[in-house]
Amino acid sequence: MTIQEELKTAADATRREVEAQVDTGAALEATRARAIGIRRRPDGRVLLTVAASVVLIAGLATFALLRDDDVVRTGPTATQPPTTVTTGPPTSSPSSTTIQAPVPTVAPTVAPTAATGDDLVTAPADLRIDFDGAADRRVGEVLDPSEVTPHVDSGCGYWPTEPGDVDQLHGLVEGAGTSSPRITDVRIDSSRYRTVSGVGVGTRLATLQRIYGDLVVDRADGWDSPTGGLLASYLDVAAIRSGDRAITFVLRDDVVSTVKVGAAEFWGDDEGCV
Amino acid sequence: MTDTRTFEAIFKVEYAGMVALGSWLTGDRASAEDLTQEAFARAHRDWAKVGALDAPGAWVRHVLVNLASNERRRRRREVRAVARLEPPPPAFPEVPPDQHLWAAIADLPFNQRAAIALRYLHDQSADQIAEAIGCRPATARVHLHRAHRTLADRLGVALADDEAGPGDPAGADLRGTGTRDTNTRPTATEERP
């Protein structure tokens, strides 16, 4: 028996089994009820706007109330030991205005966009993104098996083995479970890594379009037609390609959030290990 | 609009087949029914448009495939996390006619699995498969070919010479029909070291 015949037999069995088990009438009613739910479901943007308005109004009200006490409290909690900045002439008077500034708990990450207003940033050569990879990680590079987590037994796997911080490069391998797994793509979540043009995490879509004349942009709608070779997209993505390689820019609010370097065959918002 | 074009009529004709398709895509009957109902609910919502299509069932099939893919993506992070701790459970927990075949299908990349499911459960041509999963027909043929080859290798069975299905050009040459878009000019060479 060939594989095609086995699949046909299995498909016939599945069809028979499903037809014998499903209650089409009940499913139809459930689907209609669900459709009504879809119609009544408010637009997510409306909900977001309403929620933002409520938060804003609550914030203003709180601000106004606290202001009556001549104390502005900011920061995560009112009980947190504050850093106190006293304004006005030094005085021990309890009625002086006190601003309790928040204590930063996390060191700011590299954010050139926010710092300079420019989304193109020159990075040193050892943090360079190109069509072959990023920094010292190259597509096709053979990794030590200990750096790889195989996914089931499909040959696909993830590197590195442990989740890293945002500055850590990561991606997929082929040959996972063997003695010589090879990197199939390199993914960059940090704004430290940049292309020679200065593009990286934090770059705006408009800038990408200005720099790359052949940029392909594919908007997520769940079931759109492929655009320029992208198989499908469930996130907003933009990509450029050179030969058999592609650099994909995953976008959030039209700003690059992740960069991926890999084979053009798998560009776009791919499946990962499946 | 005739009775055969009503939502109810389409639903009754297509529902079981869609659930079967969903069960191959997700490996789970309950998820398959849930996603199928969601796909039909969206069709119901837009029935003025969907019902006017030549093949409303194809629209639902397309949505179902994408919903299954989305569902898979949603689970992916969980799978990644679990995979770091221990091997995940088999993707097809229900009792299928052939465990080995199902295990092999479960390990196929999603698009290959979708191509196989569409071909064998819904007798779809490469063009129709391409429409359903959102790729070019050549890419759909590659998905089918790779899936067949992988399954045959894994199960140690023969691969029939005839890759062509209904609507496919006879003897379609699969070589060199990858997903690359050769029309895209590689002008972004500045990043090449």
| Residues of A whose CB is below 8 A from B120 | 7-8, 10-11
Residue A33: C-alpha distances to residues A86, A207, B67 (Å): 61, 45, 19
Contact A161 B84 (CB under 8 A): yes
Nearest to residue B174, comparing CAs of B121, B117, B115?
B115
Nearest to residue B191, comparing CAs of A265, A60, A129, A38?
A129
Is the per-residue pLDDT at A55 higher than 90?
A: no
Is the per-residue pLDDT at A47 higher than 50?
A: yes
Residue A231: C-alpha distances to residues A202, A206, A214, A267, B92 (Å): 25, 23, 17, 8, 26
CA of B128 vs chain A CAs: smallest distance (Å): 13
Average pLDDT over residues A192-219: 90
Residue of B28, B70, B120 for testing the chain A interface, max A β-carbons within 10 Å? B120
10-residue mean pLDDT series, chain B (193 residues): 74 94 90 92 87 89 86 62 54 55 86 93 92 84 89 88 46 32 34 47
CA distance A18 to A124: 59
Q: Under 8 Å CB-to-CB from A169, ≥6 apart: which residues?
A: A134, A135, A137, A186, A187, A188, A193
pLDDT tens-digit readout, A224-249: 444 444 444 567 888 898 888 999 99
Check if B193 contacts A (Cβ < 8 Å).
yes
Considering only CB atoms, B88 lies closest to which of A152, A162, A196, namely A152
Give the mean pLDDT of chain A: 72
Q: Under 8 Å CB-to-CB from A150, ≥6 apart: which residues?
A: A156, A157, A176, A177, B83
Is the per-residue pLDDT at A94 higher than 50?
A: no
Is the per-residue pLDDT at A78 higher than 70?
A: no
A-contacting residues of B 113-172, CB under 8 Å? 116, 119-121, 133-136, 139, 148, 151-152, 155, 157-160, 162
pLDDT at A193: 94
Considering only CB atoms, B135 lies closest to which of A4, A158, A231, namely A231
Is the per-residue pLDDT at A133 higher than 90?
A: yes
Nearest to residue A182, comparing CAs of A153, A157, A151?
A157
Q: What is the ipTM of this complex?
A: 0.74
- Enumerate helices (H) and strands (E) in chain A, giving the number of each: 5, 15
B123 residue type, one letter: D
Q: Return the minimum-mean-pLDDT range out of A140-144, A211-215, B84-88.
A: B84-88
pLDDT at B80: 56
Considering only CB atoms, A242 lies closest to which of B108, B152, B186, namely B186
Residue B28: C-alpha distances to residues B16, B93, B102 (Å): 14, 7, 12
- Residue A153: which pLDDT band, with cuts at 50, 70 and 90? low
Q: Give the single-character DSSP code of A126.
A: G
Residue B136: C-alpha distances to residues A28, A228, B99, B143 (Å): 33, 11, 32, 11
pLDDT at B23: 92
CA of A167 vs chain B CAs: smallest distance (Å): 19
CA of A135 vs chain B CAs: smallest distance (Å): 12
- Residue A138: which pLDDT band, with cuts at 50, 70 and 90? very high
Q: At B21, list the tokens.
A: 């398709």
pLDDT at B50: 87
CA distance B56 to B58: 5
Closest-approach residue (CA) in chain B for A243:
B186
Considering only CB atoms, B12 lies closest to which of A24, A163, A240, namely A24
3-state secondary structure of A78: coil
Sheet holding A236-242, edge to edge: A149-150, A156-159, A170-174, A182-188, A255-263, A245-252, A236-242, A216-218
Closest-approach residue (CA) in chain B for A8:
B120
Is the per-residue pLDDT at A79 higher than 60?
A: no
Considering only CB atoms, A223 lies closest to which of B63, B79, B109, namely B63
Q: Under 8 Å CB-to-CB from A108, ≥6 apart: which residues?
A: none
CA distance A125 to A146: 27
Phi/psi at A152 (5° precision)? 50, -135
Average pLDDT over residues A206-228: 72
Check if B59 contacts A (Cβ < 8 Å).
no
Check if B37 contacts A (Cβ < 8 Å).
yes
Phi/psi at B187 (5° precision)? -90, -15
Closest-approach residue (CA) in chain B for A244:
B180
pLDDT at B84: 55
Contact A31 B152 (CB under 8 A): no
Contact B119, B134 (CB under 8 A): no
CA of B133 vs chain A CAs: smallest distance (Å): 8
Which tops the pLDDT comparison, A214 or B79? A214
Check if B181 contacts A (Cβ < 8 Å).
yes
| Residues of B whose CB is below 8 A from A222 | 63, 66-67, 70
pLDDT at B10: 93
Which tops the pLDDT comparison, B148 or A78? B148
Domain locations along chain A: 3-74, 125-266
Is the per-residue pLDDT at A111 higher than 50?
A: no
CA of B188 vs chain A CAs: smallest distance (Å): 6
CA distance A7 to B89: 23
